[in-house]
C-alpha cells in the first residue's frame, strides 16, 4: 500500500495485504467526491494494484462487482450494504459512512461477493468512539514517555516534538482505527505536565500535523488540557471558571486551536484528581469548571470530556468509613442537569480503577440529564501490562450489557460515547504483545455495537490478522489463537486478586503481586485481610453504604453476601475464610483452587501457542512466545505469593495438599 | 577563616569560629615545615585574626601559650600533648600528627590552657579511617545523584563535572573530616556506571582537582572502579584477572593515575555483587580479582578495598535453605591467606545490609590472614534517611567492642580500617538533618579510637557544635541536644522492625514501613511471619546453619532461643507470638509496647527540641523542627502499620487495650 503505510517494518495487524485480496481481484466503482472518498479510492486502488483488479470513479462503464457510493440521506457514519445481480453495493450519505462501508466489505472477505445479500443498514450505536493516549511529549524519568504504556515510546511524539517523517505511521494507525470503527483520538496524557501544556497554544501546529494524518481516515483529534492553562500559559493570576478574564482567555485560545485544526474534537480534562488543578481551588463546582471550557468550544461544536475520576488520594488507611468507591457518585450525582450540552462526563466503568474485576460504576444510569462517556483501559495497566495475554472483550461486554435498573444497558446509557486508554506505542507490533491488538480491535468494534457478542469479534480479528499460507490450515490456526485468547481474562483473574477485591499489585508500577502493596496506603485500596477473613464491607447495613448507590435490583443484590455474585463478593463484603460461596466452595479453597488453575491455564495456553509455530509469522510467534515465558513466571509468582500469604494468615490447609510456601 | 571556607552560607558544623577562641586569644609558636604545617599555621593565624592572638613560626622570641612542633620519631599520625609552666606543647613527628594535635587542642577548648597537663600520647588505633561517597557524576533518573544520599546532590560533582568554584567547599569538608580524624575519602559510587568509569582514565584530572583540596587536610583520595574497566575503557575483549593484557592494562592505567595524583590511596571495588561485573565471569576467585588490582597498585603503596558484599540477589523466596546472611562468610573464608598484602577486604558490619539491628558479621575474626576493613553506613539508608533523628554511635560502638571469640574486639580486628558510607551532600547543613552531623563526627572519632565511649563523643560534638550566646545557657542547651540524640537509635529501633528481624521497609527507596515489602522478593530478606509466629531460623540444629558460622561462645549463644539476646531473637529464630522474652514479655506484646513507646519517645524528643528554640540558631532549629514533623508522622505510620499487621495476623489483643487498626 504505497503512500499509505510508509513504515514497512510495522506489523500489519488486522489489515494485512491479504485481507484486501477479495476486493483487489475485482472490479469496483466508486461514486462521490471528497477527501475520505479519495481515501476509499486509494485503498481499493492499492488492493487492485497488488491483486490485479480494477477500480473506476463515478460514471465509468460496467459491469462492476462492487459499488461504493455516496447517496441518499442518513446519519454521517451509517452505510447500507446489499448484493443483487452479482454486484455488491455499499451506500452512505456521508464520507465516513462510505469508509466504514469499505472496511465492512474487507471484513466480509470473499463472502461479500457470493450469492445474494439482503440490504442491511449499519450505523454506530455510539457517536463517539475514542482512544485516549496517555502520551507525554517529554520522557518522564520514572514513568517513561507513555504513562501506563507497555508498547514502547509514543506513536505521536519523539525527541520532544511531533513525529516528523514518521507521521506516515500515524496515518497507518488512523487506518487501523478506522477499520475497527474508532473515530476520535486524544493525543496527550490527561496528566498534563509542563511541556505538554503548551500543545494548546504555541505548539498547536504539532497537534495539527498529527490531526491531518489521522483525519485522512476520519479520526478527530482531541487534546488534554490543564485546567490551570490560563495561569500556566496565559499568565493570569487565576484559573477561576467564573472569572471573565479566564473565560476570555479560553475563548481566545480555543479560537486559535480551531484556526489551526478546523475539525478539532475538543478538550479532555482531569481536574481536581490526583494532584491535577481544578475548580475546587476557587470554591467552584465541577459543573462550573466543565462549563467554562464548554462555553469556549460551543461556537465550533467541540466537546469537553470531563473526567469523573475524582477521589481523595490522600486517605488515611485507618479510617474505614471513607470509601473511594463512593467518590465519583458522591461528587457528581448532585451536579446532574448542571452541565452544558457539549460537556461529556467521562466515567471509568468501575468505581475504582480498572481492576481485573469491578462492579459497574453506580454513576452510570444515575445522571439522566448528563451525557456520560464510559472509560475503559485497552492498555493493560492492572491486567498484565501486555506481557500477559489478557483479552478484555468479555469484561467490556459484561459492562456494556449491564442494566443499572430495568431498562437500558450501559451500552445505551453511554450517550457520550465509549473511550479507551490506548494500548499502542511505537512498538513494531503496535501493542508490545502482538495478541494485545485484539483488545484494541475489540474495543473499537464494541464501541460501534455495544451489544455485539465479543467472541464473534474475536473471531473476526483472528481471521483478519492471521492469514495462513495454505487455506486448509486456517481452521487449526484460528482455533489455536482463539483458544489462547478467549478465556484469557478469566485466567488472569484466577491467578491474581481474588473475588473482586483487587489491588494486590506492587505499588507505583502495578506489575506483579504484592498482597499488602496497597493495604496501608493513602490510595483507598484495601482488602482488610486478617487471620479470620477478608473483604471490604460496602453494605448499607454495616459498611460504607456504597451498595446503596445502586438502583434496584442491584442495591439489594449487592447488599447481602448471600445474593452478591461470587466474583464480586470481596468487593462488597468482609467474610470469613470459611464462608461458602454459591459455587459450594469456601472462600479460601476457592482462592487456592483458582490460583492453581490459573497457572495451569497459562501453561496450557503456552502449549497451544507453541503448537502454532509452523503457522504464524516467525517474528510474531517469537514475540508472543517470549511474553508467554514471562507470563508463566509471573503467574507462578502470583499463585505462590497469594496462596502463601493467605495460608500463613488463615492457617487453613489446601484441601488437595498442593504445595504452598 | 578567609581562604579556608569560601562557601560562607554553609553550616560550620563542629568547627564554628567560636571553637577557635581559646587558641585565637593566645600566643602560639609553630615549629616545622611542610604543606600540612602551613595548614596548621593558617588555622591558627585565622583564629588569631578573629580573636586578637598571635602566631609565630620557628625560632621566634617567646613566651608562648601553645607550641605546635614537628619533632622526634613516632608514627606519622601520632602526637603528644602536655602542659608545663604555662605552655601547652603538641609534638608530632609527622605533619598529619601535628594537624590532629591542633584539632585536639581545639576540642580541649579553654581547658587546654589551664593548669598542668601530663604528657599524653594520642595515635589512631586504625590506620585507615575512610568515607565512601556513593556519589555519581551523572544524575540517575530514579536514585538521584547520590545513591542512598539524603543531603542533596553530590559535594564533589556538579553538572557532570568535578565542582569548579565550589572546590573550596570540598576543602572545607576535608577540614571537618580532619577535625574528627578521618584520613581517606572515596569520591564516587561503588556502583560504577558508564560515565563514572571514565574517572579512572580520561577524567582522572577531575579526581586530581578534588584530591588536591582534600589533601590540604591530609585526606587521601580513593576511587571506585569497575572490574570491567579493561573492556569498558581499554577496549580489551576480556577482564580476566589472569590475562596478561588485562594485567598490563591495569598497570598502565594505575601508573597514569599516580602521575596525576601522587598521593592517591587506591581502588574500591564492588565485584560480582548486585549486578556489578567481577572475576566469577572468568571462573576466577575473588582473590584472583583483588590481587590483579593489588599488583597494579603495589609499586605505589596503594591499596585495594575489595568489598565482601557478595550474595545471590535473585534468590527464590520459596527456598528457605538459602540464607543471604551466610553469603559473605561462605564466599570469603575459604580465601583467607590468598589475598595480596595490599588488599583490604571490606566487610559490612552485619551479615545483611545496615539494618537497624544485626548481629556482627561472622566473617570478622574468621580470616586471620586477611586485612579486614569494617564498613558501616553513616548515611541513614535504613535508619530514617536523615529525616529521622537516629544517632548511630551506640550501634557502631557495640559492633566495635564485640569480641568474636575470647580475645580482640572488632575494633582491633579491623586492621584494614573502618569505613563509612558518607551521609554528606551539597546541603547547607552538610547532612540534610543537622543532627545527622553527629553520626559523621562520631564515626570519625570511633575510627580513631574504637573503644571510646560513644556518649562522650556525643558530648564532644555537642559542645563544639552548639555554642550558646551566653555561657550560662550551655548546660541547658547541651542537656537538651543530648536528650534528643543519645537514645535516638533505640527509639528508631522501637518503632520499626522488631527484635532484629529487619527489612520491613518499602521496596526500592527503603523509606517508611511495608511489613511484607521484602517478604516475597528475590533479595533474601524475609521474616516468615504467619498467624502463629515470626522470625528466621538460622540455628544449626533446625535452620540455615548461619549461627554455626560464629566461633564460641557466640555459636552457642545464638543457637538457642533461650540464650539468644532478645534484640536479635527474630534474626536467629522463628518463634511463636506468645514466646516469652528474657524481658518477661511475649514477643507480640513486646512489639506492641515498643511501637507505642517509640512514638512517645519521638514526641518527647520533639518537645525537648521545641524547648531549645531560644538557644539554637534559627535556621538550624527550623530545619530540625521540620524534620521532626516528618519523623513523627512516619513513626506513627510505622507504629500503626506494624501493630495492625501483627494484630490482624496473630489475633492477639494488646494487653493495654490501646488503639490498633
The predicted-structure confidence for B346-394, as pLDDT tens digits, reads as follows 999 999 999 999 999 999 999 999 999 999 999 999 999 999 999 999 9
Q: Does A142 touch chain B (CB under 8 A)?
A: yes
Give the minimum alpha-carbon distance from B594 to chain A in angstroms, rounded to a whole number: 20
Q: Residue B361 in contact with residue B354, Cβ under 8 Å?
A: no
Q: Hey, is the C-beta of A636 within 8 angstroms of any chain B C-beta?
A: no
Residue B56 has pLDDT above 70, yes or no: yes
Does residue A141 carry a pLDDT above 80? Answer: no
Q: What is the mean pLDDT of residues A646-652?
A: 98
Among all residues of chain B, which has the CA nearest to that of A642? Answer: B520
The pLDDT score that the predictor gives to residue A469 is 82
**Phi and psi (nearest 5°) for B267?**
-105, 150
Structural contact between residues B264 and B220, judged by C-beta atoms closer than 8 angstroms = yes
Residue A641 and residue B520: Cβ atoms within 8 Å?
yes
Q: Is the pLDDT of residue A390 over 90?
A: yes
Which helix (DSSP H) or strand (DSSP E) does residue A23 occupy?
Answer: helix A21-24
Burial call A396-420: b when 16+ CB within 10 Å, e when fewer: bbbbbebbbeeeebbbebbbbbbbb
CA distance A280 to A448: 36
Residue A526 pLDDT > 70? yes
Res A6 pLDDT > 70: no
pLDDT of amino acid B4? 41
Active site residue A381: yes
Strand residue runs (E) in B134-209: 135-140, 144-146, 157-158, 161-162, 184-186
Chain A contact set for B516 (CB, 8 A): 514-516, 645
Comparing CA positions, the residue from B527, B582, B577, B578 lying closest to residue B560 is B582
Strand, helix or coil for residue B621: helix
Residue contact B520–A637, C-beta within 8 A: yes
Is B641 an 8 Å CB contact of chain A? yes
Q: Is the pLDDT of residue A3 over 60?
A: no
pLDDT tens profile B573-600: 999 999 999 999 999 999 999 999 999 9
The residue from B104, B122, B140 where one domain ends is B122
Compute chain A's Rg from CA coordinates.
25
Q: What is the mean pLDDT of residues B541-549?
A: 98
Average pLDDT over residues A70-81: 96
Interface predicted TM-score (ipTM): 0.89
Active site residue A353: yes
Model pLDDT, residue A82 = 98
Assess B588–A contact: CB distance below 8 Å, yes or no.
no
**What local confidence, expressed as pLDDT, does residue A387 receive?**
98
Are A531 and B507 in contact (CB < 8 Å)?
no
Which residues of chain B have a CB within 8 Å of the CB of A651?
530-532
| DSSP secondary structure letters along B382-419 | TTTTTTS----HHHHHHHHH--SSSS--HHHH-TTEEE
Residue A143 has pLDDT above 60, yes or no: yes
Q: What are residue A22's phi and psi, to 5 degrees?
A: -55, -40
Chain B residue closest to A142 (CA)? Answer: B142
> Is the Cβ of B649 closer than 8 Å to some Cβ of chain A?
yes
Summarised one tens digit per residue, pLDDT across range B245-262 is: 999 999 999 999 999 999
At A8, the pLDDT band (50, 70, 90 cuts) reads low
- What residues in B contact A141, CB-CB < 8 Å? 141-142
Active-site residue, from B202, B274, B530, B626: B274
Confidence bin at A61 (pLDDT 50/70/90): confident
Cell of A381: 495497566
Conformational region of residue B445, where left means phi above 0, alpha means psi within -120 to 50, and beta covers everything else? alpha
Distance CA B146, CA B153 (A): 6
Banded model confidence at residue B469, pLDDT cuts 50, 70, 90: confident
Nearest CA in chain A to B660: A318
Report whether B50 contacts B2 (CB < 8 A).
no
Which residue did the predictor score with more confidence, A313 or A215?
A: A215
Percent of residues, chain B, with pLDDT higher than 90 = 93
Of residues A177, A37, A17, the one with CA closest to residue A617: A17
Specify if B477 maps to a domain.
Answer: no
Contact of A661 with B318, CB cutoff 8 Å:
yes
A140 pLDDT more than 90: no
Q: Which of B375, B381, B426, B593 is catalytic?
A: B381
pLDDT tens-digit map of B436-462: 999 999 999 999 999 999 999 999 999
Task: Return the residue of A nearest to B650 by Cα.
Answer: A531
Instruction: For residue A516, give how far its alpha carbon lies from the nearest alpha carbon of chain B (Å).
Output: 7
Beta strands B161-162 and B157-158 are: antiparallel
What is the Cα–Cα distance from B87 to B57, expressed in whole angstroms?
A: 16
- CA–CA gap between residue B490 and residue B395 (Å, rounded): 9
| A338 in Cβ contact with A287 (< 8 Å) | yes
Per residue in A494-515, pLDDT (tens digit) is 999 999 999 999 999 999 999 9
In this structure, the strands spanning B87-92 and B117-122 are unpaired
**Coil vs helix vs strand at B267:** strand
The H or E element spanning position B209 is helix B204-215
Name the residue of chain A whose CA is nearest to B652's CA. A531
Residues B131 and B185: beta-carbon distance below 8 Å = yes
Across the interface, whether the CB atoms of A648 and B513 are under 8 A apart is answered no
List CB contacts of A456: < 8 A, sequence separation 6 or more. none
A529 and A625 in a common domain: yes
∠ CA A491-A493-A495, rounded to 5°: 75
Looking at B5, B69, B353, B559, which residue is catalytic?
B353
Q: Could you tell me if residue B660 is inside a domain?
A: no
Q: Closest Cα of chain B to A135: distance in Å? A: 19
- The C-alpha of A409 sits at a distance from chain B's nearest C-alpha, in angstroms, of 40
- Give the residue from A510, A516, A659 with the most B CB atoms within 10 Å of its CB, the best one to mutate: A516
Mean pLDDT of chain A: 96
Compute the average pLDDT of residues B325-335.
Answer: 97
Beta carbons of B513 and A520 less than 8 Å apart: yes
What are the C-alpha distances in Å from A170 to residues A13, A43, A158, A217, A620? 14, 16, 12, 11, 21
Q: Pick the closest to residue B379 from B424, B418, B417, B446 (CA basis).
A: B424
- Residue B435: CATH number of its domain: 3.20.20.80
Same domain, A144 and A67: no
pLDDT confidence bin for B213, thresholds 50/70/90: very high
pLDDT higher than threshold 70 for residue A648:
yes
Q: In whole angstroms, what is the distance from residue B418 CA to residue B364 CA?
A: 12
CB proximity B315 to A under 8 Å: no
Domain termination site, one of B71, B97, B122: B122
Q: Is B221 part of a structural domain of the chain?
A: yes
- State whether A89 and A138 are in the same domain: no
Q: What is the pLDDT of residue B468?
A: 83
Q: How does the average pLDDT of chain B come out, rounded?
A: 96
B133 and B148 both lie in a single domain: yes
pLDDT at A134: 97
Q: Is the pLDDT of residue A7 over 70?
A: no
Beta carbons of A520 and B529 less than 8 Å apart: no
State whether the Cα torsion B278-B284-B285-B291 is positive or negative. Answer: negative
* B507 lies within 8 A of chain A by CB: yes
Q: How many CB atoms lie within 10 A of CB A285?
A: 18
Instruction: Answer whether A649 sits within 8 Å of B531, measured CB to CB.
Output: yes
pLDDT of residue B278: 96
A95 in the same domain as A24: yes
* Domain at A57, CATH number: 3.30.379.10
In tens, the pLDDT along B115-130 reads 999 999 999 999 999 9
- Measured between CA atoms, the residue of chain B closest to residue A638 is B520
In this structure, the answer to whether residues B86 and B188 fall within a common structural domain is no
**Angle at Cα A542 formed by Cα A537 and Cα A547, nearest 5°?**
60
In the block, residue with C-alpha cell 604528657: B119
Q: Are residues B91 and B210 in the same domain?
A: no
Sort out which chain A residues have CB atoms less than 8 A from B651's CB and list them. Answer: 530-532
Least CB–CB distance from B318: residue in A141, A647, A661: A661
Q: Shortest CB distance from B661 goes to which of A142, A318, A649?
A: A318
Question: What is the C-alpha to C-alpha distance for residues A447 and A451, in angstroms, rounded to an integer?
Answer: 9
> In this model, does residue B9 exceed pLDDT 90?
no
A349, A375 contact by CB (below 8 A): yes
Distance, C-alpha B592 to centroid of its chain: 31
Q: What distance in Å separates the CA atoms of residue A80 and residue A551, rounded to the nearest whole number? A: 38
Rounded Cα distance, B414 and B408, in Å: 10
B171, B120 contact by CB (below 8 A): no
Beta strands in A47-128 (DSSP E): 54-57, 66-70, 79-84, 87-92, 117-122
Report the residue from B318, B520, B641 with minimal CB separation from A520.
B641
Residue numbers in B near A507 (CB within 8 A) = 506-507
Interface probe for B, chosen from A518, A520, A595, A641 (most Cβ of B below 10 Å), is A520
Mutation site, B138, B320, B520, B574, interface A, largest A CB count within 10 A? B520
Q: Is B645's Cβ below 8 Å from some Cβ in A? A: yes
A650 touches chain B (CB under 8 A): yes
Reported as a pLDDT band with limits 50, 70 and 90, residue A165 is low
What is the rounded CA–CA span in Å between residue A338 and residue A346?
15
Of A317, A318, A648, which is closest to B531 when you measure between CB atoms? A648
pLDDT band per the 50, 70, 90 thresholds, residue A159: confident
Place of cell 494485545: A436
Does B458 map to a domain? no
Residue B430 lies in a domain: yes
Instruction: Specify the CATH number for the domain of residue B528.
Output: 3.90.1330.10
Whether residue B625 is found in the same domain as residue B584: yes
- Residue B59's pLDDT band, with cuts at 50, 70 and 90, is confident
| pLDDT above 70 (res B2) | no
A503 touches chain B (CB under 8 A): no
Q: Are residues A113 and A90 in the same domain?
A: yes
Closest alpha carbon within chain B to A505: B517
In terms of DSSP H, where are the helices of A25-166?
A: 35-51, 95-108
Is B187 within a domain? yes
For residue B306, give the H/E element and its range. strand B303-307
User: Does the distance separating the beta carbons of A644 and B649 come in below 8 Å?
Assistant: no
pLDDT at A467: 87
Q: Nearest C-alpha of chain A: how many angstroms from B652? A: 10
Mean pLDDT of B61-67: 93
Query: Average pLDDT in the A329-336 region?
Result: 97
Taking residues A128-137, what's their average pLDDT?
97
Q: Which residues of B touch A318 (CB under 8 A)?
A: 640, 644, 661
Within this chain, do residues B350 and B446 fall inside the same structural domain, yes or no? yes
Can you say whether the dihedral through the CA atoms of B646, B650, B655, B656 is positive or negative?
Answer: positive
* Enclosing domain of residue A607: 493-536+574-650
Whether the CB-CB separation of A196 and A136 falls below 8 Å is answered with yes
Assign residue B104 a region (left: φ > 0; alpha: ψ between -120 and 50; beta: otherwise).
Answer: alpha
Q: A531 and B644: CB-CB below 8 Å?
A: no
Interface test with A, best of B516, B646, B658 (most A CBs within 10 A): B516
Predicted confidence (pLDDT) at residue B164 exceeds the cutoff of 80: no
What is the reported pLDDT for B165?
A: 67
Comparing CA positions, the residue from B344, B333, B221, B327 lying closest to residue B291 is: B344
Cell numbers found for residue B295: 599488583
Place of cell 464480586: A568
- Whether the upstream peptide bond of residue B286 has omega within 30° of 0, thus cis, is no
Tell me whether residue A564 is in a domain: no
Average pLDDT over residues A130-138: 96
Residue A230, classed as helix, strand or coil, is: helix
Q: Which residue of B has its CA nearest to A649?
A: B531
Yes or no, beta carbons of A531 and B531 under 8 Å apart? yes
Q: Of A425, A453, A481, which residue constitutes the final position of a domain?
A: A453
Q: Give the residue from B318, B319, B643, B651 with the most A CB atoms within 10 Å of its CB, the best one to mutate.
A: B318
A23 and A83 housed in the same domain: yes
- The DSSP string of A572-624 is H--EETTPBPTTSSBHHHHHHHHHHHHHHHHHHHHHHHHTTTTTS-HHHHHHH
Q: Is residue A111 situated within a structural domain?
A: yes
Instruction: Give the cell for residue A164.
Output: 516528523
Domain total in chain A: 3
Q: Is A651's CB within 8 Å of B142's CB?
A: no
Is the domain of B247 the same as that of B107? no
Record: contact B648-A529, CB cut-off 8 A: yes
The average pLDDT across A616-645 equals 97
Amino acid at each position: 500500500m504505497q503512500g499509505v503505510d510508509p513504515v514497512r517494518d510495522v506489523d500489519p495487524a488486522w489489515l494485512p495485504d491479504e485481507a484486501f485480496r477479495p476486493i483487489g481481484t475485482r472490479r469496483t466503482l466508486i461514486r462521490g467526491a471528497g477527501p475520505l472518498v479519495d481515501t476509499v479510492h486509494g485503498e481499493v486502488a492499492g488492493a487492485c494494484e497488488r491483486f490485479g483488479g480494477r477500480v473506476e470513479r463515478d460514471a465509468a462503464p460496467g459491469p462492476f462487482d462492487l459499488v461504493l457510493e455516496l447517496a441518499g440521506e442518513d446519519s454521517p457514519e451509517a452505510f447500507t450494504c446489499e448484493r443483487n445481480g452479482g454486484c455488491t453495493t455499499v451506500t452512505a450519505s456521508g464520507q465516513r459512512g462510505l469508509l466504514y462501508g469499505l472496511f465492512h466489505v474487507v471484513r466480509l472477505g470473499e463472502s461479500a461477493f457470493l450469492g445474494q445479500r439482503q440490504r442491511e443498514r449499519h450505523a454506530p450505536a455510539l457517536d463517539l468512539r475514542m482512544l485516549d493516549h496517555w502520551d507525554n511529549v517529554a520522557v518522564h524519568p520514572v514513568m517513561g514517555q507513555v504513562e501506563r504504556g507497555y508498547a514502547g515510546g509514543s506513536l505521536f511524539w519523539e525527541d520532544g516534538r511531533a513525529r516528523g517523517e514518521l507521521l506516515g505511521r500515524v496515518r497507518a494507525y488512523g487506518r487501523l482505527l478506522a477499520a475497527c470503527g474508532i473515530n476520535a483520538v486524544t493525543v496527550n496524557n490527561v496528566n498534563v505536565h509542563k511541556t505538554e501544556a503548551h500543545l494548546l497554544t504555541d505548539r498547536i501546529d504539532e497537534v495539527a500535523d498529527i490531526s491531518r494524518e489521522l483525519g485522512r481516515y476520519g479520526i478527530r483529534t482531541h487534546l488534554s488540557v490543564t485546567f490551570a492553562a490560563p495561569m500556566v500559559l496565559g499568565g493570569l493570576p487565576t484559573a477561576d471558571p467564573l472569572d471573565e478574564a479566564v473565560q476570555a482567555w479560553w475563548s481566545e485560545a480555543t479560537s486559535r486551536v480551531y484556526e489551526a485544526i478546523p475539525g478539532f474534537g475538543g478538550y479532555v480534562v482531569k481536574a481536581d484528581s490526583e494532584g491535577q488543578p481544578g475548580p475546587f481551588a476557587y470554591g467552584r463546582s465541577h459543573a462550573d469548571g466543565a462549563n467554562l471550557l464548554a462555553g469556549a468550544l460551543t461556537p465550533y461544536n467541540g466537546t469537553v470530556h470531563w473526567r469523573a475520576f475524582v477521589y481523595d488520594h490522600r486517605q488515611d488507611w485507618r479510617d474505614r468509613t471513607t470509601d473511594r468507591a463512593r467518590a465519583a457518585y458522591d461528587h457528581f450525582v448532585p451536579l446532574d442537569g448542571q452541565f452544558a450540552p457539549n460537556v461529556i462526563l467521562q466515567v471509568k466503568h468501575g468505581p475504582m480503577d480498572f481492576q481485573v474485576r469491578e462492579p459497574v460504576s453506580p454513576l452510570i444510569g444515575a445522571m439522566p440529564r448528563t451525557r456520560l462517556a464510559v472509560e475503559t483501559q485497552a492498555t493493560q495497566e492492572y491486567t498484565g501490562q501486555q506481557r500477559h495475554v489478557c483479552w478484555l472483550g468479555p469484561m467490556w461486554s459484561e459492562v456494556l450489557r449491564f442494566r443499572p435498573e430495568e431498562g437500558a444497558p450501559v451500552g445505551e446509557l453511554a450517550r457520550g460515547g465509549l473511550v479507551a486508554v490506548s494500548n499502542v506505542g511505537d512498538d513494531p507490533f503496535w501493542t508490545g504483545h502482538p495478541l494485545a491488538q485484539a483488545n484494541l480491535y475489540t474495543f473499537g468494534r464494541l464501541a460501534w455495537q455495544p451489544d455485539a457478542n465479543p467472541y464473534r469479534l474475536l473471531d473476526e480479528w483472528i481471521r483478519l490478522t492471521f492469514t495462513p499460507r495454505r487455506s486448509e490450515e486456517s481452521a487449526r490456526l484460528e482455533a489455536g489463537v482463539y483458544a489462547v485468547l478467549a478465556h484469557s481474562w478469566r485466567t488472569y483473574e484466577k491467578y491474581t486478586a481474588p473475588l473482586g477485591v483487587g489491588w494486590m499489585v506492587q505499588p507505583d508500577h502495578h506489575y506483579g503481586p504484592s498482597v499488602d502493596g496497597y493495604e496501608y496506603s493513602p490510595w483507598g485500596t484495601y482488602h482488610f485481610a486478617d487471620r479470620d477473613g477478608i473483604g471490604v464491607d460496602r453494605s448499607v447495613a454495616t459498611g460504607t453504604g456504597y451498595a446503596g448507590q445502586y438502583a434496584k435490583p442491584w442495591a439489594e443484590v449487592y447488599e447481602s453476601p448471600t445474593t452478591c455474585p461470587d466474583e464480586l463478593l470481596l468487593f462488597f463484603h468482609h467474610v470469613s475464610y470459611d464462608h461458602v460461596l454459591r459455587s459450594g466452595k469456601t472462600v479460601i479453597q476457592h482462592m487456592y483452587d483458582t490460583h492453581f488453575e490459573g497457572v495451569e491455564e497459562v501453561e496450557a495456553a503456552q502449549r497451544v501457542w507453541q503448537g502454532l509455530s509452523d503457522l504464524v509469522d516467525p517474528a510474531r510467534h517469537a514475540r508472543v512466545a517470549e511474553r508467554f515465558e514471562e507470563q508463566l513466571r509471573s503467574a507462578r509468582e502470583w499463585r505462590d505469593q497469594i496462596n502463601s500469604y493467605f495460608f500463613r494468615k488463615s492457617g487453613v490447609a489446601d484441601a488437595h495438599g498442593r504445595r504452598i510456601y
